[in-house]
Amino acid sequence: ISLCMITKNEEKHLENCLNSVKKFIDEIIIADTGSTDKTKEIARKFTNKIYDFKWNDDFSAARNFCLQKATKDWILVLDTDETISNKDLEEIKILTNENKKNKETPGYSFIQRTYLNETKKLKFNYAENDFYEESKPFLGWTHRRITRLFRNDKKIKFIYQVHETVIESIKNINGKIKQTNIPIHHYEILKGKDFNNKKCNYYIKLLKNKIKLHPKAKFYFELALEL
């Protein structure tokens, strides 16, 4: 399994992410989009496969550049403010091992849990009685299904400049995406309100452009959520 990540100024979060998966990943590939902090220095503790990518307002372009560097059979995509619980790593390994000959299922979807301390959010779940330690510091989380594990195939790539996805490219090769209940723990909240407000405004700009290029109802909904 190749872990493929894009980074920019993530010195506070990168090490926690990589430590959560390093024992079961065979290769770590990082495409850095212009860090000015210690991100690349921290990354070098885990891998020498660190590449510079000039940011161009297109998350798919950066992710696909990273995918091109992968040499293993499977690709796992994570962001720096995400982790996977140790108890779920073995299950991921089982999925990829069982699927060596099954070409019909080139992708797996996980449940991204975005942790929050606000209860009035869409699809909010309370953390009370949850058996994952990762949820304990927060009131709860919102969730969405996200495809982050897929076969290393040149035909599988990300599309759209924001809220990028590989789903369409997997469908284009008549592949199936199998749903799992494995959570990806997402700690965007730890980056603070200032960061998240700036990110929200930036996403609004990208989503308006996305709608011009692809005027679909689901993309208007993405913009509505940001607004």
For 29-52, the DSSP string reads EEEES---SSHHHHHTTT-S-EEE
**In this model, does residue 63 exceed pLDDT 70?**
yes
The 10s digit of each residue's pLDDT in 5-42 is 999 999 999 999 999 999 999 999 999 999 999 999 99
Residue 208 CA: distances (Å) to CA of 71, 216, 220, 222, 223: 35, 12, 8, 10, 7
**In this model, does residue 114 exceed pLDDT 80?**
yes
Of residues 147, 165, 149, the one with CA closest to residue 157: 165
Residue pair 184/167 in contact by the 8 Å Cβ criterion: no
pLDDT for res 101: 64
Q: For the whole prediction, is pTM greater than 0.85?
A: yes
Residue 145, number of CB atoms within 10 A of its CB: 12
The 10s digit of each residue's pLDDT in 126-174 is 999 999 999 999 999 999 999 999 999 999 999 999 999 999 999 999 9
Q: CA–CA separation, 121 vs 118, rounded Å? A: 7
Return the structure tokens found at 164: 């990028």
The 10s digit of each residue's pLDDT in 82-113 is 999 999 999 998 888 876 666 778 999 999 99
**In this model, does residue 121 exceed pLDDT 90?**
no
pLDDT for res 142: 95
pLDDT for res 103: 72
Residue 107, number of CB atoms within 10 A of its CB: 24
